C-alpha cells in the first residue's frame, strides 16, 4: 500500500527546472532511498514532499490524502517526521530540552521523562544531555536531530543525508538504528550519497538525474543498470 | 503548576532565590510606611512601566520578535482608558475602562500581529513595521486638536493630549498614592509569576524553540505562527496595561508618550537588563527608570543621552544585558564557592541554566 504518492510533480525556480514531472511512490513499511548525482534534484524533491517548497505542478498524497497545499507542520501532524540535510537543532538550548520539545505534544510527566531517557541513551547522548545542542559535534547534532524526528513516532520518517559528517562507525550505527525502526513498521524515505549506507538500509531505490526519475527498483537491479553506473555509480564501482 | 516557577527558561531557582524574592517583596510592601507620599507616588510611576518591559522581554528575549510597537499598544490602551473612563462616566466604571482598554490593545495586537506573522514578516522587518505603526499613531493623534476629533464627550486634543478622565476608582475611593502603589506591586507579582509559569511551560518551550529555529519547530508539528501571535498579543497587552495605568495615574496622556523617543525606551531598558530573562528585565528596568527619573530632575537631555550611551555600552560590552550578566556572575561565584565548601554532594539550589553550558 502506498503511503506517499508524488504525482507529476515539477518545481521551477525562474528558468531552472529543478524537478520535472516526477512520479514516486513510497510504500508503507519500506526503506526507500532516493539517490542521484549532485544537482539531480533530490533535496528539492525532499523539500517538496515535506512542504518547504510548493510545487509548480503536480500533487503529493500522504496516506491517500492530498497534502500538496499543506504547510510542513500539518504534514508532521499527519504522521511525517523530518530530518533536514544540515543539522537543524535548537543550538542555544540544552540537548535534553531539544528532546523534550519534540516529545511534549505526545507525552507528559513520567512517561515523557522515561522516553527522554530512552532516546538519549539510544543516541549516546545521555552524558551530554545538559550541554547546549550547539556544543555537540556535527555527528552528534545529526543524531540529536534524528532523535527529535523519532520522538514523534512517525508513520513516515524522512531523512535528508542523515549520515553527513559522521564517522564510518557512526554511519553504520545509524543504519542499524533505521533498520530497527523499520522492523517495527516505520516507513523511511532517505536521501543519501553514501552508497555503503544505501546498501545497508535500502529496500527500494529511486535514482534521480537532472530532475527526472532515471531508474527505480531494488538496489541490486539499480547496481546492475549500466546507465545508472554511468551517471552516478561509476566511481562507486571503481572503489 | 508551582514547579513551573522554576524552569530552564528563567534565571534563579531554589530556596535562595525565592527567599530573596520574598525579602524584596516584603521590603516593597513596608516601603510606604517609611517613605513620604511623593516618593511612594514616584515609585508607583516607575512600576507602571515594568509591564511594558516584561512584555517586550517575552516577545524579544523569549520569542525572538523585536517589537518597536510597545508604545503603540501603550497609546491605544492609554487613550482607550481615557475615552472609556470619560464616556462611561468615571467612578467604579474606570475599572471596566482599564480592563476594556487592555482588551482593545490586545485585539489591535491580534490584528496587526496576524497580518505581520501570517505575512511572513520577521527579523528586522518586524521591528520596522511595528515602529512604522507606532509613528503613524503618534502622528495621527498629534493632529487631532480640532473639536471634531472626539469620541462621545471625550476629546483627543492633539498634541496637548487627553485629560479629564477619572483615576481608577472603587465606589468613592480613588486608587491613588499608596493604594495605587500597592495595586502596582500586586499586579507586578501576578504578571511576573504568570510569565515565569508561561515560559517554563510546554508553551514556553515552543516559544523559545520558535526563537531558536522556527523551521525546526514547524518540523516538529508546531504551527509557529500561532505561538508567535500568542506571544505578540500577550507582550503587547502588557504594554497596554502600562498605558491604561499611566493614564489613570496622571489623568492625562499625550502623543509624545507614543512617539519615537518613548518607543525606544523599552528597547533600552530590556537590552540593558538582559532580554533573555524576566527577573533581569524586572530589576534592570526598575533601576533604569529610577535612575532616569532622578537625572531628569536636573536635565532631561542628559537623561536621554545617558540612555543612548547605555544602549551602546550594552551592545558593545554586554550583548546579553548588564543585569543578566552580573546576575550570572554572582550566582556562578556563589555556586563555585559552595561546591568548594561542601564538596560534590552540593545540591543544585540556586543554579542557573548557564551552569550547564
Structure confidence by residue, pLDDT tens digits, A3-57: 999 999 999 998 899 999 999 999 999 999 999 888 889 999 999 999 999 999 9
- Cβ of residue A136 closer than 8 Å to a chain B Cβ: no
Q: What is A194-238 written as a DSSP string?
A: -HHHHHHH-SEEEEEETTEEEEEE-HHHHHH-HHHIIIIIHHHHH
Q: What's the CA gap between A101 and B132, in Å, rounded?
A: 35
Q: What percent of chain A has pLDDT over 90?
A: 62
Provide the shortest C-alpha distance from residue B107 to chain A (in Å). 26
Please answer whether residues B11 and B192 qualify as being in contact, where contact means their C-beta atoms are separated by less than 8 angstroms.
no
The pTM (predicted TM-score) of the whole model is 0.90
Range of lowest pLDDT (A103-107, B61-65, B223-227):
A103-107
Q: What's the CA gap between B152 and B161, in Å, rounded?
A: 16
**What does the pLDDT average to over A164-175?**
87
Bridge pairing between strands A2-13 and A57-62: antiparallel
User: CATH for A2-79+156-238, among 3.65.10.10, 3.40.50.200, 3.40.50.300, 2.60.40.790?
Assistant: 3.40.50.300
Tell me which of A72, A105, A127 to substitute to probe the interface with B (most B C-beta atoms closer than 10 Å).
A72
On the question of pLDDT at B175 being above 50, the answer is: yes
Inter-chain contacts counted by CB atoms under 8 A, chains A and B = 71
Show residues of chain B in contact with A132, CB under 8 Å.
Answer: 356-357
Three-state SS sequence of B10-68: CCCCHHHHHHHHHHHHHHHHHHHHHCCHHHHHHHHHHHHCHHHHHHHHHHHHHCCCCCC
Instruction: Report the C-alpha dihedral over residues B34, B40, B42, B46, rounded to 10 degrees.
Output: 100
At A232, the pLDDT band (50, 70, 90 cuts) reads low
Answer yes or no: do B205 and A101 touch at CB < 8 A.
yes
Q: What is the mean pLDDT of chain B?
A: 90
Question: What number of CA atoms fall less than 13 Å from residue A210's CA on the CB side?
Answer: 3
Answer yes or no: do B221 and A73 touch at CB < 8 A.
yes
Name the strand (E) or helix (H) holding B264. Answer: helix B260-273
Q: What percent of chain B has pLDDT over 90?
A: 70
Answer yes or no: do B218 and A71 touch at CB < 8 A.
yes
Structure confidence by residue, pLDDT tens digits, B150-166: 999 999 999 999 999 99
Q: Where are the alpha helices (DSSP H) in B88-176?
A: 93-118, 124-142
Q: What's the CA gap between B197 and B218, in Å, rounded?
A: 23
Nearest chain A alpha carbon to B206: A101
CB-CB: which of B202, B212, B357 is closest to A90?
B212
Q: What percent of chain B has pLDDT over 70?
A: 95
CB-CB: which of A89, A97, A152 is closest to B8?
A97
Domain boundaries, chain A: 2-79+156-238, 87-153
Q: Where are the alpha helices (DSSP H) in A24-167?
A: 42-50, 72-78, 95-103, 109-122, 138-151
State whether residue A10 is helix, strand or coil.
strand
Three cell numbers, residue B127? 521591528
**What does the pLDDT average to over B240-246?**
97
Closest of B268, B261, B206 to residue B53, by C-alpha? B268
Q: What's the CA gap between B272 and B282, in Å, rounded?
A: 11
Structure confidence by residue, pLDDT tens digits, B72-112: 999 999 999 999 999 998 889 999 999 999 999 999 999 99
Q: What's the CA gap between A222 and A204, in Å, rounded?
A: 9
Q: What's the CA gap between B16 and A51, in Å, rounded?
A: 48
Answer yes or no: do B202 and A104 touch at CB < 8 A.
yes
Three cell numbers, residue A195? 552508497
Q: What's the CA gap between B242 and A130, in Å, rounded?
A: 38
| Total Cβ atoms within 10 A of residue A101 | 24
At A234, the pLDDT band (50, 70, 90 cuts) reads low
Residue B88 vs residues B78, B92, B94: alpha-carbon distances, Å: 15, 10, 8
Tell me which of A98, A149, A156 to substitute to probe the interface with B (most B C-beta atoms closer than 10 Å).
A98
Please answer whether residues B87 and B165 qualify as being in contact, where contact means their C-beta atoms are separated by less than 8 angstroms.
no
**What does the pLDDT average to over B180-186?**
96
Structure confidence by residue, pLDDT tens digits, A13-23: 988 999 999 99
Answer yes or no: do A101 and B220 touch at CB < 8 A.
yes
Burial of A105 (0-12, 13-18, 19+ CB in 10 A): middle
Please answer whether residues A153 and A112 qualify as being in contact, where contact means their C-beta atoms are separated by less than 8 angstroms.
no
State whether residue B150 is helix, strand or coil.
strand
Domain boundaries, chain B: 42-257
Q: Where are the alpha helices (DSSP H) in A123-193?
A: 138-151, 168-183
Nearest chain A alpha carbon to B201: A104
| Total Cβ atoms within 10 A of residue A100 | 22
On the question of pLDDT at B349 being above 80, the answer is: no
Provide the shortest C-alpha distance from residue A225 to chain B (in Å). 36
Residue B117 vs residues A134, B111, B129, B220: alpha-carbon distances, Å: 27, 10, 11, 19
State whether residue A89 is helix, strand or coil.
coil
Q: What's the CA gap between A4 and A106, in Å, rounded?
A: 23
On the question of pLDDT at B335 being above 90, the answer is: no
Amino acid at each position: 500500500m502506498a503511503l506517499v504518492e508524488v504525482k507529476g510533480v515539477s518545481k521551477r525556480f525562474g528558468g531552472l527546472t529543478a524537478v520535472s514531472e516526477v512520479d514516486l511512490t513510497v510504500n508503507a513499511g519500506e526503506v526507500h532511498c532516493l539517490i542521484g548525482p549532485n544537482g539531480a534534484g533530490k533535496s528539492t524533491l525532499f523539500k517538496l514532499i515535506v512542504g518547504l517548497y510548493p510545487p509548480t505542478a503536480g500533487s503529493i498524497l500522504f496516506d491517500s490524502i492530498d497534502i500538496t497545499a499543506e504547510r510542513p507542520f500539518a504534514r508532521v501532524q499527519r504522521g511525517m517526521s523530518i530530518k533536514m540535510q544540515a543539522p537543524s537543532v535548537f543550538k542555544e538550548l540544552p540537548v535534553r530540552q531539544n528532546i523534550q520539545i519534540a516529545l511534549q505534544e505526545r507525552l507528559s510527566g513520567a512517561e515523557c521523562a522515561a522516553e527522554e531517557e530512552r532516546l538519549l541513551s539510544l543516541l549516546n547522548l545521555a552524558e551530554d544531555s545538559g550541554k547546549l545542542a550547539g556544543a555537540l559535534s556535527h555527528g552528534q547534532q545529526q543524531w540529536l536531530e534524528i532523535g527529535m524526528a523519532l520522538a514523534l513516532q512517525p508513520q513516515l520518517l524522512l531523512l535528508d543525508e542523515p549520515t553527513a559528517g559522521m564517522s564510518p562507525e557512526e554511519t553504520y550505527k545509524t543504519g542499524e538504528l533505521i533498520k530497527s525502526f523499520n522492523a517495527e513498521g516505520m516507513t523511511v524515505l532517505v536521501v543519501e550519497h553514501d552508497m555503503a549506507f544505501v546498501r545497508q538500509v535500502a529496500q527500494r531505490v529511486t535514482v534521480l538525474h537532472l530532475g527526472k526519475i532515471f531508474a527505480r527498483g531494488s538496489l541490486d537491479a539499480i547496481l546492475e543498470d549500466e546507465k545508472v553506473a554511468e551517471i552516478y555509480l561509476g566511481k562507486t564501482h571503481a572503489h | 503548576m508551582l514547579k513551573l516557577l522554576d524552569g530552564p527558561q528563567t534565571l534563579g531557582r531554589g530556596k535562595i532565590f525565592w527567599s530573596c524574592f520574598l525579602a524584596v517583596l516584603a521590603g516593597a510592601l513596608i516601603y510606604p510606611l517609611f517613605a513620604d507620599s511623593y516618593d511612594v507616588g514616584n515609585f508607583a510611576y516607575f512600576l507602571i512601566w515594568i509591564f511594558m518591559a516584561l512584555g517586550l522581554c517575552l516577545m524579544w528575549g523569549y520569542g525572538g520578535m523585536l517589537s518597536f510597537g510597545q508604545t503603540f499598544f501603550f497609546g491605544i490602551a492609554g487613550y482607550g482608558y481615557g475615552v472609556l473612563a470619560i464616556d462611561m462616566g468615571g467612578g467604579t466604571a474606570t475599572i471596566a475602562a482599564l480592563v476594556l482598554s487592555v482588551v482593545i490593545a490586545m485585539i489591535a495586537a491580534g490584528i496587526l500581529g496576524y497580518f505581520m506573522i501570517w505575512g511572513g514578516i520577521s527579523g528586522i522587518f518586524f521591528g520596522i513595521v511595528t515602529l512604522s505603526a507606532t509613528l503613524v499613531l503618534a502622528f495621527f493623534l498629534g493632529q487631532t486638536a480640532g473639536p471634531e476629533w472626539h469620541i462621545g464627550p471625550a476629546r483627543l486634543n492633539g498634541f496637548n493630549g487627553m485629560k479629564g478622565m477619572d483615576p481608577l476608582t472603587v465606589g468613592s475611593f480613588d486608587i491613588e498614592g499608596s493604594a495605587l502603589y500597592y495595586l502596582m506591586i500586586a499586579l507586578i507579582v501576578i504578571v511576573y509569576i504568570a510569565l515565569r509559569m508561561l515560559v517554563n511551560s510546554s508553551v514556553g518551550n515552543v516559544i523559545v524553540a520558535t526563537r531558536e529555529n522556527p523551521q525546526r519547530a514547524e518540523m516538529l508539528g508546531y504551527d509557529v505562527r500561532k505561538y508567535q501571535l500568542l506571544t505578540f498579543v500577550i507582550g503587547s497587552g502588557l504594554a497596554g496595561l502600562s498605558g491604561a495605568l499611566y493614564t489613570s495615574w496622571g489623568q492625562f496622556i499625550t502623543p509624545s508618550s507614543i512617539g519615537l523617543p518613548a518607543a525606544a525606551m523599552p528597547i533600552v531598558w530590556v537590552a540593558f537588563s538582559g532580554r533573555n530573562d524576566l527577573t533581569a528585565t524586572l530589576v534592570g528596568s526598575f533601576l533604569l527608570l529610577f535612575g532616569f527619573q532622578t537625572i531628569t530632575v536636573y536635565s532631561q537631555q542628559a537623561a536621554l543621552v545617558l540612555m543612548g550611551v547605555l544602549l551602546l555600552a550594552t551592545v558593545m560590552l554586554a550583548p546579553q544585558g548588564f543585569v543578566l550578566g552580573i546576575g550570572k556572575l554572582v550566582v556562578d561565584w556563589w555556586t563555585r564557592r559552595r561546591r568548594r565548601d561542601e564538596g560534590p554532594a552540593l545540591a543544585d539550589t540556586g543554579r542557573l541554566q548557564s551552569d550547564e553550558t
